[in-house]
Amino acid sequence: MTTTKTKWTKKDLLGLKDLSREEILLILDTAKGFCEISKRPIKKVPALRGRTVVNLFLEPSTRTRVSFELAEKRLSADNLTFSGTSSSSLAKGETLKDMARNIEAMNVDLIVMRHTSSGAPHRLARYLRPGIVNAGDGINEHPTQALLDMFTIREKKKKIEGLKVSFIGDILHSRVARSNIWGLTKLGAEVTVCGPKTLLPVDIESLGVRVTYDVDRAIEGADAITLLRIQLERQKESFFPSLREYMQTFGITRERLERAKRDVIIMHPGPINRGVELADDVADGEYSVILDQVTNGVAVRMAVLYLLSGARS
Amino acid sequence: MTTTKTKWTKKDLLGLKDLSREEILLILDTAKGFCEISKRPIKKVPALRGRTVVNLFLEPSTRTRVSFELAEKRLSADNLTFSGTSSSSLAKGETLKDMARNIEAMNVDLIVMRHTSSGAPHRLARYLRPGIVNAGDGINEHPTQALLDMFTIREKKKKIEGLKVSFIGDILHSRVARSNIWGLTKLGAEVTVCGPKTLLPVDIESLGVRVTYDVDRAIEGADAITLLRIQLERQKESFFPSLREYMQTFGITRERLERAKRDVIIMHPGPINRGVELADDVADGEYSVILDQVTNGVAVRMAVLYLLSGARS
Amino acid sequence: MTTTKTKWTKKDLLGLKDLSREEILLILDTAKGFCEISKRPIKKVPALRGRTVVNLFLEPSTRTRVSFELAEKRLSADNLTFSGTSSSSLAKGETLKDMARNIEAMNVDLIVMRHTSSGAPHRLARYLRPGIVNAGDGINEHPTQALLDMFTIREKKKKIEGLKVSFIGDILHSRVARSNIWGLTKLGAEVTVCGPKTLLPVDIESLGVRVTYDVDRAIEGADAITLLRIQLERQKESFFPSLREYMQTFGITRERLERAKRDVIIMHPGPINRGVELADDVADGEYSVILDQVTNGVAVRMAVLYLLSGARS
């Protein structure tokens, strides 16, 4: 495990595409320190006391939003959350830019933002003073998810460099896969992506990953496998014939896992479709680190908010 | 008033069915101490500082939710609330179990849970580490409501043993009545239930209560009367002919109250249907302790959260 | 700038109609002190620690609600927000009075209330112990908005007395205009209102303002101009022929502003309809103090909550 001496200098966390290897390691190392706080009876440090964080979730979210909200509270920040666009002034025809400028004018320190459009947080970050954390933008990036995935791999495997990491499922619509690819390749992992042809972006190999349509080849020798959520709501667009067929072709069962390394870890960003991308006994079995990911997510988000706030005393 | 020397040992508060007389008294005695805090200018104690409480209201609620949220804030806990199922990941097909395991993985200390299904909190409590407080499950129990009702009776009557307590209205769908029956009979009160035949469960006498369809007999000699909300939204199922007829047969007016004890107290878990189960001059009159119930509810919930958190220093 | 020696004695802030010149100045002077707090890294004072504030927004709102919530958090109050009427007990047929009495019974100190009916907060204030802050009632008043407008004018112009202030747009439905008229005339400003005949109340001159239908006359010699939001959702009622025609007749462009004073300030309570009441280059130009209004809003609301809480140690 490399401990870096880098200082954090960026105002925003928009994606792993923009981060150096050293910056990624700095976040992971900082998160390590925050892991311990959530295990104490008194899960709270004064690091962000009196700072204001606004969570702007213009696309529905539960787990990411809750994870950020807990991270903020455990750092003692004052926080506020907008969910959806209903009953908000955006419904009155206000532009996102005007809404964001209003939030800025209230002397907000950090904005955590999820948006259905790829690039929306990057656009805001250019003209707003507060630090922006991208909590998922369209099909582009979801950097804190990838950071918590990488943190979990490092905790379990004690390294990332040289590991074989596979992503199976809907790669096309997955900002999680995209952020992981940027991050893992920078840290020296070998990444394989696998899914139905219709759910693999045509240009994906240019990101430095291996592509396969054969799930057994994606599993073979893998140190870590991330299953991506099949978005049932997209199924009407017919990316694959049926859920039953998807499970048979790409779903992960205990039998299929015999080709992986003995100590393979199974990951999923959640929420899981049980019996679609993942069989119950794998989701709940000894290889699964899915709930560790959730636990680590709070620590990683505390680290990101802490570093962006410049609160390093 | 009995002060007990019991220690609290249970992880969860699921219902009064499961509590001993001593455990009920311990909660009521503890609540007595918390009553005073909400009357101070500075309504806050550090008892749950740094603890995380998640309010999971998968059935709509205003007053119970607000009462818990205020209790949590006055104990200095960090809290989070989910309301409804819309825009939550449950909407994406996630199971309740997976959702709850995710919350647990974020190192949450206590989950306050309301659910439309009877037994849902009991099921979660079996496999989750955090303490679960049942804030109403289907038609089964609503223990904190019954505890605040009993607390209010004890404040007004200085005892519970030997009192005559009547419940009038929709007993069938009332988790409030059910929890009160468990609690009050354990503490030695004589409980009568009264309502239209269609709204009385067939097996109710087996719980040790007297049953009557005659509202005057339910009132006669009563020390405390709780009116239960007629759920107007169920009226399409035709449990009784009309609201007007319901009021004439079961609604409580000043005239009808002349048969009760001179110092009878009138209770209601709210929200009131004025002019249906209760006439305005009774709801707002000298017998009514309905708003005392609301006040005591915050103290009782503080006591429950405090005891469950094991924060007895 | 007049500094007053008035003491605050009112329980509620319902409207500027009810306030004396001295009371208005006391709020503005108090807000001046709070401005500085939101510019610190640690934006928090303990003035309302342990006080409970409930935000009761029974009409949708984003910016006013967020401004109040931030003001409350920066004063260290415990706060709770209800938005809309959906999934609340009001939906179960409870009256506003019963709902408010319930909130009161939970020992709440202050209620910030927005309601679609003019006079709703005044009615509640008569029988509730907690202080009520009107955050907008129907088409009647929006006192904290007017106070932040006056604060902004005073910051920019160093006085209010003798200034020419114009309001352009939908005066008829504007509680913002109404509150400003009460406040500004008490402080000695000359107020002009301007808009389509259909959007000017017939009795408006009785409030001591000049009326014109000619936007150039409203602009001429003005020190401050507030544009009022054209509520597009009302457009189906045909108060004016078309948005295009509205912009041509009443919309503010750089050319039109040449008739104003050189140092005119342009204000808007937001959200802006760009290209309807205001051209982009005016909204974002050097005359605009629209974002200063937002910043000052938090300080003014902190001042109001602080004065009402009687927390002047």
pLDDT in tens, B50-83: 999 999 999 888 889 999 999 999 999 999 998 8
- Most confident option among A115-119, A245-249, B91-95, B292-296: B292-296
Looking at residue B196, its pLDDT comes to 94
Looking at residue A234, its pLDDT comes to 65
Contact residues, chain B, for C107 at CB < 8 Å: 38-39, 43, 295, 298
* pLDDT band for position C233 (cuts 50, 70, 90): low
**Span A230-278, pLDDT tens digits:** 877 666 667 788 888 899 999 999 999 999 999 999 999 999 999 999 9
C313 touches B at CB < 8 Å: no
- The answer to whether residue B170 scores a pLDDT higher than 50 is yes
- The answer to whether residue B236 scores a pLDDT higher than 90 is no
C236 touches B at CB < 8 Å: no
Residues B238 and B106 in one domain: no
Q: Do A52 and C67 touch (CB under 8 A)?
A: no
**Span A140-191, pLDDT tens digits:** 999 999 999 999 999 999 999 999 999 999 999 999 999 999 999 999 999 9
Of B87, B101, B103, the CB nearest to A60: B87
Does residue C3 lie in a domain region? Answer: no
Number of B/C CB contacts below 8 angstroms equals 79
Contact residues, chain C, for B274 at CB < 8 Å: 95, 98
Does residue C11 lie in a domain region? Answer: no
Residues B58 and B193 in one domain: no
* pLDDT band for position C85 (cuts 50, 70, 90): low
Q: What is the ipTM of this complex?
A: 0.92
**DSSP state letter for A190:** E
C67 touches A at CB < 8 Å: yes
Of B49, B93, B102, the CB nearest to A63: B102
Number of CB atoms found within 10 A of residue A45's CB:
17
Residues C286 and C164 in one domain: yes
- The answer to whether residue B154 scores a pLDDT higher than 60 is yes
Residues B158 and B73 in one domain: no
The pLDDT of C176-204, averaged and rounded, is: 96
- The answer to whether residue C45 scores a pLDDT higher than 50 is yes
A297 touches B at CB < 8 Å: yes
The pLDDT of B95-100, averaged and rounded, is: 89
Q: Is A120 exposed, middle or buried (0-12, 13-18, 19+ CB in 10 A)?
A: buried
Looking at residue C175, its pLDDT comes to 97
* pLDDT band for position C3 (cuts 50, 70, 90): low
Looking at residue C110, its pLDDT comes to 97
Contact C188, C162 (CB under 8 A): yes
Q: Do C291 and A82 touch (CB under 8 A)?
A: no
- The answer, yes or no, to whether the previous bond of C271 is cis (omega within 30 of 0) is yes
Looking at residue C60, its pLDDT comes to 80
**Span C234-289, pLDDT tens digits:** 666 677 888 888 999 999 999 999 999 999 999 999 999 999 999 999 999 999 99
A145-154, B55-64, B270-279, B304-313, range with the lowest pLDDT: B304-313
Contact A279, A255 (CB under 8 A): no
Residues B183 and B120 in one domain: no
Strand runs labelled E in chain C? 52-57, 78-83, 110-115, 131-137, 164-168, 190-194, 210-212, 224-227, 265-267
C205 min Cα distance to partner chain A (Å): 30
Query: What percent of chain A shows pLDDT beyond 70?
Result: 93
Looking at residue C235, its pLDDT comes to 62
- The answer to whether residue B212 scores a pLDDT higher than 60 is yes
Contacts of C266 (CB under 8 A, 6+ apart): C224, C225, C227, C252, C257, C278, C282, C283, C285, C287, C288, C289, C290
Residues A150 and A136 in one domain: no
Looking at residue A237, its pLDDT comes to 66
**What rounded mean pLDDT belongs to chain C?**
92
Residues A164 and A258 in one domain: yes
Of B41, B63, B297, the CB nearest to C89: B63
Looking at residue C239, its pLDDT comes to 79
- The answer to whether residue A127 scores a pLDDT higher than 80 is yes
Residues C85 and C115 in one domain: yes
Does residue B69 lie in a domain region? Answer: yes
Which is nearest to A82 in space by CA: A106, A53, A48, A116?
A53
C234 min Cα distance to partner chain A (Å): 12
Of C91, C95, C107, the CB nearest to B39: C107
Contact A145, A64 (CB under 8 A): yes
Name the pTM for this structure. Answer: 0.94
The pLDDT of C40-56, averaged and rounded, is: 96
Does residue A313 lie in a domain region? Answer: no
- The answer to whether residue C89 scores a pLDDT higher than 70 is no
C78 touches B at CB < 8 Å: yes
Does residue C302 lie in a domain region? Answer: yes
Helix (H, G, I), strand (E, B) or coil at A136: strand
What does the DSSP assignment read for chain B?
Answer: -PPP------S-B--GGG--HHHHHHHHHHHHHHHTGGGSSS----TTTT-EEEEEESS--SHHHHHHHHHHHHTT-EEEEEESSTTSGGGGT--HHHHHHHHHHTT-SEEEEEESSTTHHHHHHHH-SSEEEEEEETTTB-HHHHHHHHHHHHHHHS--TT-EEEEES--TT-HHHHHHHHHHHHTT-EEEEE--GGGS-TTGGGGT-EEES-HHHHHTT-SEEEEPPP-GGGGGG-SSS-HHHHHHHH-B-HHHHTTS-TT-EEE--S---BTTTB-HHHHTSTTB-HHHHHHHHHHHHHHHHHHHTT---
CA triple A155-A53-A3, angle to 5 deg: 30
CA B227 to the chain's CA centroid: 13
- The answer to whether residue C1 scores a pLDDT higher than 80 is no
Does residue A5 lie in a domain region? Answer: no
Q: Which residue of C has its CA nearest to A47?
A: C42
* pLDDT band for position A95 (cuts 50, 70, 90): confident
Q: Which residue of B has its CA nearest to C51?
A: B42
A15-19, A124-128, B239-243, C175-179, range with the lowest pLDDT: B239-243
- Max CA separation in chain C (angstroms): 57
**Span A10-49, pLDDT tens digits:** 999 999 999 999 999 999 999 999 999 999 999 999 999 9
**Span A186-242, pLDDT tens digits:** 999 999 999 999 999 988 999 999 999 999 999 999 999 999 998 776 666 677 888
B294 min Cα distance to partner chain C (Å): 6
- The answer to whether residue B313 scores a pLDDT higher than 60 is no
Q: Do B294 and C50 touch (CB under 8 A)?
A: no
B73 min Cα distance to partner chain A (Å): 13
Q: Do A89 and C270 touch (CB under 8 A)?
A: yes
Does residue B206 lie in a domain region? Answer: yes
Q: How far apart are CA C63 and CA C54, in angstroms?
A: 16
Number of domains in chain A: 2
The pLDDT of B171-188, averaged and rounded, is: 97
- With b meaning 16 or more CB within 10 Å and e meaning fewer, what string describes B196-223? beebbbeebeeeebeebeebeebbeebb
Does residue B1 lie in a domain region? Answer: no
* pLDDT band for position A312 (cuts 50, 70, 90): very low
Residues A124 and A256 in one domain: no
Q: For residue B102, what are its two tokens?
A: 């995710």
Residues C190 and C286 in one domain: yes
B88 touches C at CB < 8 Å: no
Looking at residue C93, its pLDDT comes to 65
Range(s) of the domain holding residue A122: 16-141+294-308
Residues A89 and A223 in one domain: no
Which of B39, B40, B43 should we substitute to test contact with C (largest number of C Cβ atoms within 10 Å)? B43
Q: Which residue of C has its CA nearest to A51?
A: C42
Contacts of A307 (CB under 8 A, 6+ apart): A8, A26, A27, A30
CATH number at residue C277: 3.40.50.1370
Residues A137 and A214 in one domain: no
